[in-house]
Amino acid sequence: MVIKPRLKGGLALTNHPIGAKEFVKRQIDYVKSQDKYEGPKKVLIIGSSSGYGLATRISLAFGAGAETIGVAFEKGVEGKRVGSAGWWNTIAFNEAAEKEGLVSKNFIGDAFSMEMKDDVIKFIKEEFGGKIDLLIYSLASGVRTDPIDGITYRSALKSTTKEITGPTINFEKETMEETTMGVATPEEIKSTVKVMGGEDWKLWIEALDKGGVLSEGFKTVAYSYLGPKVTYGIYKEGTIGAAKRDLEHTSDILNDFLKEKYNGEAYVSLSKALMTRASAVIPIFPLYAALLYKVMKEKGIHEGTIEQKHRLLTQMVYGNNPVIDEERRLRPDNWEMREDVQEEVEALWDKVTPENFKQISDYAGARAEFMQLNGFDFDNVDYDADVDLDELAKLVP
């Protein structure tokens, strides 16, 4: 089977398993090119198969020698369906970790369920040394079934104040087009907070604490994003913003609890704007990212996902150079939010049109990053080669 990219707006409908291996390899190569660092030895990553979570796992494993457990909801080969990008990323990570003698374990399923929490705790107790030093919460999902009330909630990418119309990039059509985001109902706001807020993060910590598997000095970090003024309507003032405020409130609650019981810490980390499977479908964001990439690359301060997360871990979470704001949030987005960077991005934003967006932004770089998330656009992968799905189907994370 020859696998070619198929897109629908900001969604990739196909993924390339060989490209996924290259995607993971390049991140590992970056970490290996950097100095080793002292970090945690036993790590649990919720949302480990792509984006921020995958990059974090790679940094911790290949930079600090950590043993890792990954939890993710992904699908493998089903008939002619080649499987999800995260499925192949996880397999590629496993293969590389095994070659290095690094312990890695994966749980594929619903991270929101109590059954998953129980299974992970049982594994930690029986096969993972009994304790973990770090939990990273990097879950991106549009749907969550609350394990307490059994109700399934769906998030909504909407405004909480007024209808917002703005430009975005359609990667399928390679065009810049107007998109409109409606106003959320109170129920939609509540549902988005239930899915994307801090409730499940807190349930994980409570379950791990009750299970007796948290070490002295335990840390936990949840990933979030704030962004600049041009994205405030979506992030700060949108349903996502309501969920992120709940996440930050949860961070404070967890920090107080962990500090008292384990001399531990809990933080929200605000990430730099990057193309991820989740962010690619958020209105306005892809165009902002393309403009930002251009400015930051010209200034020599652009970071991809692995560079961003490696800096966060080596300098802030396990280093001596933390950047923490007045709301107690880690700020590895500090280069993005520099005044000179944002001034230049805003100037480009005022000039960008459907006719010139490819020229005045780093559209090529943003699109390549988006395609590579799904295993495409690598110059050393033969995309005309036949892929044996029957053989691939034998591989499991």
Binding annotation for NAD(+) = 47-52, 73-74, 110-111, 139-140, 244, 274-276
Q: How far apart are CA 195 and CA 198, in angstroms?
A: 9
User: Which residues lie closer than 8 Å to 222 by C-beta, 6 or more apart?
Assistant: 136, 137, 138, 198, 201, 247, 250, 251, 266, 267, 268, 269
Binding annotation for substrate = 225
223 labelled catalytic: no
* Under 8 Å between Cβ of 59 and 313: yes
Binding annotation = 47-52, 73-74, 110-111, 139-140, 225, 244, 274-276
* Under 8 Å between Cβ of 364 and 372: no
Distance of CA 185 to the CA centre of its chain: 27
Is residue 355 packed enough to be buried (19+ CB in 10 Å), middle (13-18) or exposed (0-12)?
A: exposed
Query: Encoding tokens for residue 203?
Result: 């349930």
Catalytic residue among 30, 137, 153, 235: 235
Query: Encoding tokens for residue 171?
Result: 């990667």
Task: Classify the C-alpha dihedral 237-238-244-250 as positive or negative.
Answer: positive
Kindly list the catalytic residues: 235
